[in-house]
Structure 1
Amino acid sequence: MTPTIRAIEDADIPAVIALWHAAGVARPWNDPATDIAFARRGPHGTVLVAAIEDRVVASAMAGEDGHRGWLYYVAVDPAHQGGGLGRLMVEAGEAWLAARGVWKVQLLVRRENAGVLGFYDHLGYRDTTAVCLQKVIATE
């Protein structure tokens, strides 16, 4: 069946969170519901889903800062992996960013998920050789 790719709807949130856990992209220190809400709070982010017969089987979160775009939570239900859904979701995220005038797309891959590097290489993504630094700041 051909999946329907669309923006996430409120009713999809539990299924997307379950998908992220099943696909191994969720981490205990990131609350998926908070990340979804943050992506949906304005025009600079979205969560896209692929649905087959109203069942969410893949996702990609896209966001932009006016200069570069980012993809997050690219996930495919393990039962549907290897069938091209990951590529479709990356392409959907890229199209969403391109429609906003973003010409550069970046993503992060966790070291323990090195097996996915070949997938992204096949799609044209290259190691920037940059070092990503992070600091958690208080928001309250």
Structure 2
Amino acid sequence: MNLQLRSFAPGDADAVVALWDEAGLTRPWNDPYADIERSRAVWPDLLLVAEDGGRIVGSVMAGYDGHRGWLYYLASAANRRGEGIGRLLVEEAERRLVALGCPKVQLMVRPGNEIVLAFYDRIGSERIDVAMSGRRLIADAAGERTA
């Protein structure tokens, strides 16, 4: 494995969105290209990709609001799962967040996604019982949802 972790580059967008689609992370009410642009406008070095042989095989989007860091869109290519790509991406995102002074990181997992929850358990995350609430401020697509 000749894996390289790096910041997202503009030419990565189609490959990253295809990876997110393959991993089941996209939703019709969230435009993933708009999510990429919004993320890069605020924290351009917190959208990371894992590349192997010129192919994007993983990604994670991180953010920091001054209180906590957040992880979004963690994905690895279906044929590469179990190789540690997700763990490496989380570690790099956390390293970059710490460098910004971020004291903690959290993430959201959709209900019933036990495979993803088990992954985060294995890498040291603890489950937090919290209710989430939100609302859309800018509609990306016809169907307005909050998540």
TM-score bin (small chain): over 0.9
Per-residue deviation, residues 69-116 of structure 1 (Å, max 9, x unmatched): 000000000010011101111111111111101010000001142221
Q: Name the SS of the counterpart of 1:41 in structure 2.
A: helix
Match for residue 7 of structure 1?
Answer: 7
TM-score, normalising length: structure 2: 0.89
Higher relative contact order (CA 8 A, sep 6+): 2
CA 1:80/1:136 → structure 2, altered by over 3 Å: closer, same or farther? same
TM-score, normalising length: structure 1: 0.93
Structure 1 counterpart of 2:60, one-letter code: A
Percentage of identical aligned residues = 45
Match for residue 52 of structure 1?
Answer: 52
Distance 2:14 2:65 in 1: 27
Q: Does 1:105 align with 2:117?
A: no
Match for residue 37 of structure 1?
Answer: 37
Match for residue 68 of structure 2?
Answer: 68
C-alpha displacement at 1:44, in angstroms? Answer: 7.3
After superposition, the CA RMSD in angstroms is 1.5
Structure 1's consecutive aligned runs of 4 or more residues displaced over 4 angstroms after TM superposition are none
CA 1:2/1:45 → structure 2, altered by over 3 Å: closer, same or farther? closer
CA contact (8 A) 2:76 2:85 kept: yes
CA 1:134/1:121 → structure 2, altered by over 3 Å: closer, same or farther? same
Stretches of structure 1 that go unaligned for 5 or more consecutive residues are none
C-alpha displacement at 1:51, in angstroms? Answer: 0.1
Per-residue deviation, residues 14-66 of structure 1 (Å, max 9, x unmatched): 00000000111111111100000000002376210000011100000000001
Q: How many residues align?
A: 139
Structure 2 counterpart of 1:129, one-letter code: D
